[in-house]
Chain A
Amino acid sequence: MKEEHKEGVQGHEGGAHGHGEKYKFGMVIDLDKCTGCGSCMVACMTENNVPYKKNETNKLDSITWMRVFKATNGKPYPDTDICYFPRPCMHCEGEHGHAPCVSVCPATATDYNYETGIVSQIYTRCFGCRYCMAACPYHARYFNWWDPVWPDDTKESLSPDVSPRMRGVVEKCSFCFHRFQGARDKAYAEGRREITENEYQTACTQACPAGAIVFGDLNNPEHKVHELKQSPHAFRLLERLGTNPKVYYHSTRSWVRRAGDNYLTNERSK
Chain B
Amino acid sequence: MDSALIPKGLKRCPFPQFALWIGAWSFIMLWAAIAAVIAWAYGLNTTNLNDYFGFGAWITADLAIIALGAGAFFTGFMRYVLGIDEFKNILNYAVIIGFICYSSALAILALDIGQPLRGWFIFWHANVHSMLTEVAFCISCYFTVLAIEYIPIILENRQLDKVPTLHAFSHNLHHIMAVFAATGAFLSFFHQGSLGGVAGVLFGRPFAFRVHASIWPTTFFLFIFSAIACGPCFTILVTRLTEAITRKKLVARNVILKLATVSGWLLVGYLSVKMLDTLYWAAVTLPKMGVNFFDMYPQAPFNLWILIAELGICGAIPAAILITKKTRENEFLLILAAILNCTGICINRYVMTVQALALPVMPFDKFYNYVPNWIEWITSLAPFAFMAILLSLSYRYLPIFPQEKELNP
Contact = CB atoms under 8 A, between A and B. Distances in A.
Nearest to B357: A134
Interface string A230-251: 0000000110111100000000
B125 A107 contact: yes
A104 B201 contact: yes
Contact of A100 (B116, B204, B356): B204
B133 A60 contact: no
Contact of A143 (B51, B127, B206, B289): B51
A1 to B, nearest CB: 37
Given A259-B364, A265-B292, 8 more contacts: A70-B364, A104-B130, A109-B121, A126-B115, A127-B116, A127-B122, A137-B204, A261-B363
B282 to A, nearest CB: 12
B122 A104 contact: no
B202 A106 contact: no
Given A131-B130, A143-B51, A240-B288, A85 B204 contact: no
B136 A106 contact: yes
Interface string A112-140: 00000000000001111111011111110
- Among B55, B287, B356, chain A packs the most CB atoms within 10 A around the CB of B55
Interface string B283-295: 0000111111001
A240 B286 CA distance: 11
Instruction: Tell me what chain A mostly uses at the interface: helix, strand, loop, or mixed.
Output: loop
A262 B55 contact: no
Interface string B247-264: 000000000000000000
Interface residues of A, number: 60
Nearest to B368: A60
A168 B136 CA distance: 19
Nearest to A130: B54
**Ordered nearest first, which 6 A-B pairs have the shortest CB separation?**
A128-B114, A168-B114, A130-B54, A262-B290, A137-B204, A71-B364
Interface in B316-364: 356-357, 361-364
Interface stretch (A18-26, A34-42, A144-152): A144-152
Given A168-B114, A261-B363, A131 B204 contact: no
B337 to A, nearest CB: 33
Contacts of A85: 364
Given A69-B364, A137-B361, A146 B45 contact: yes
Interface residues of B, number: 49
A21 B133 CA distance: 28
Contacts of B292: 264-265
A134 B205 contact: yes
DSSP class of B's interface residues: helix, strand, loop or mixed?
loop
B51 A60 contact: yes
A98 interface: yes
A259 B363 contact: yes
B208 to A, nearest CB: 8
Given A60-B51, A134-B54, A146-B45, A69 B362 contact: yes
Contact of A145 (B45, B205, B364): B45
Contact of B289 (A129, A136, A146, A241): A241
Contact of B204 (A60, A169, A238): A238
A241 B206 CA distance: 8
B129 interface: yes
B133 to A, nearest CB: 4
16 contacts: A58-B50, A69-B364, A71-B364, A103-B127, A107-B118, A127-B119, A128-B118, A129-B112, A129-B113, A134-B55, A136-B204, A141-B51, A167-B114, A240-B289, A261-B290, A262-B363
A168 B43 contact: yes
Given A60-B51, A131-B130, A133-B51, A238 B113 contact: no
B131 interface: yes
